[in-house]
Structure 1
Amino acid sequence: MYGADLTEIHELIHESRGKDYGAEARELTRHVRGLRPGAGSLLDVACGTGAHLRHFAGLYERVAGLELSEPMVRAARRGLPDVPVHVGDMRGFDLDARFDVVTCMFGSIGYATDEAELHATLATFARHLTPGGVVAVDPWWFPETYLDGYVSGDVTTLAGRTVARVSHSARDGDACRMDVHYVVADAGAGARHFSETHRISLFPRATYEAAFRAAGLTVTYVPGPHSGRGLFLGAAA
């Protein structure tokens, strides 16, 4: 999952598809500070290459990241040399630190394979909150909003490199299986192809909300953001 090949082009391909990491960070912060006006510290879980984290660093006094993919951790550390970025699994980690905000962006929460793992993930997030802190989760699609058989394709060119991405997503029980193919072409190196397969859980909204409440968080769902997937906000006592 998320190896060196994808790490190299991850931000380029998603920004070319219209993803605005800065706008998403600002919008999430607006919602968070409606619940916790003085929030000054943030942990971004499943932070990837640090694309959101770079913007969060300008919005909070203290930020940190956590990511399972070691190639992505290395990329995030290169881009954010003054920010601690930890290798860790969202389903169970202990940083011996607490934050006013814990975020999990880009549908990454869907990599929890079942309800037990979802509950463990939210409980882990809650343990890393300061009193009154907020967990903000950009979920994957709900079963009723997921488009079975969805195909997408994008091509972008920047600084002499052309990247093509084609994906197909199909229902697989209580999850979706997404096969993604990439072709990367450079003038000097030529063209190369690689592919990745992801299985991402399709949790119902009620299942997310139950996991938030089980973690001791008061949960609110905000429809609309993040390409229509929405945003969950869980506030600690």
Structure 2
Amino acid sequence: MTLQAETSDNNVYDDDLSEIYDQIYTNRARDYQAEAALLAAIVRARRPEAASLLDVACGTAEHLAALKSTFTRLEGLELSAQMRDRARAKVPGVQIHEGDMRRFDLGRTYDAVCILFNSISFMATTEELDSAVASMARHLSPGGVLVIDPWYSPEQYIEGYVSDSVTRNDGRTIARVSHSAREGRRVRQEAHFVTADSAGINHFVNVQRLTLFTRDEYAAALEKAGCAAELVEGADALSPDTGTFVGVRR
């Protein structure tokens, strides 16, 4: 599969999903403020004077909004046009760049770069993983910190996993149910959404394909990109289930 084909395949945040994205995740007990505080602590423990941060695959900019009081210069990178539009509306004054995480060049460096909410797992192969990590590392100043919030490793994946949620906000109810099926190293995650409000009921399906990378593969990608690799686990990690990979550019 070519990079262009994979980019098209993984640009899954269309109008239907981007429009309800914030309601789904802010109402599923996702604490963006707490995650932002953990992220800042990880960065500052390794670079106390860090003032600039780039959030790769920033989505609708919930993390950037939570980080506004922590870093002097914040910017985001997002592939989906719909998500970029919502991000720009949410954090006016914060530059949101269009770009593919595997091959972007913004012509500047940052004290910290992060990729959160398992977005790195959209990479289809270890070659794509290496390209994405190298692109992010190139945007670090010497001593800069790269924070990767990974998805599950192969041994952690639960075959046939089913997830569900119902959220209600401002007169709208959203029900979501998803099923995951493994296809080799990749997982096909099919989610069905039903939204209901005063205008009626709408149903749509969203399919994402995510890759089960090993911990060794994440660490190797960081080392190849010129970063000293570290795995943060437990309460200090962004996700205790998967840990957080941290690279410091040499």
Scaled by the length of structure 2, what TM-score is found? 0.93
Name the SS for the 2:196 alignment partner: strand
Which piece of structure 1 moves more, 216-225 or 29-38?
216-225
**How many aligned residue pairs are there?**
236
Whether 2:191 is the aligned partner of 1:177: answer no
- The aligned counterpart of 2:203 is 193
Q: Deviations over 1:123-175 (max 9, x none)?
A: 10111001110000100111111111110111011110000110111111101
The separation in 1 between residues aligned to 2:114 and 2:193, in whole angstroms, is 28
**Residue identity (%):** 47
The separation in 2 between residues aligned to 1:112 and 1:152, in whole angstroms, is 22
Evaluate the alpha carbon distance shift between residue 227 and residue 10 of structure 1 in structure 2; reply closer, same or farther with a 3 A threshold.
Answer: farther
- The aligned counterpart of 1:61 is 72
The separation in 2 between residues aligned to 1:65 and 1:230, in whole angstroms, is 23
Name the SS for the 2:193 alignment partner: strand
The separation in 2 between residues aligned to 1:81 and 1:153, in whole angstroms, is 33
CA RMSD after TM alignment? 0.9
Which piece of structure 1 moves more, 66-75 or 227-236?
227-236
Out of 106, 114, 118, the residue aligned to residue 117 of structure 2 is: 106
One-letter code aligned to 1:203: F
One-letter code aligned to 2:13: Y
- The aligned counterpart of 2:95 is 84
1:207-222 alignment to 2 at 5 Å?
207-222=217-232
> How far off its partner does 1:185 sit?
0.6
- Note the residue ranges of structure 2 that are not aligned, 5 or more in a row: 1-11
* 8 Å contact from structure 2 (residues 133, 225) kept in 1: yes
- The aligned counterpart of 2:246 is 233
- The aligned counterpart of 1:33 is 44
One-letter code aligned to 1:229: T
The separation in 1 between residues aligned to 2:240 and 2:89, in whole angstroms, is 29
Whether 2:112 is the aligned partner of 1:124: answer no
The separation in 2 between residues aligned to 1:98 and 1:86, in whole angstroms, is 14
Name the SS for the 2:130 alignment partner: helix
> How far off its partner does 1:227 sit?
5.4
- The aligned counterpart of 2:33 is 22
Name the SS for the 2:114 alignment partner: strand
- The aligned counterpart of 2:6 is none
* 8 Å contact from structure 2 (residues 233, 240) kept in 1: no
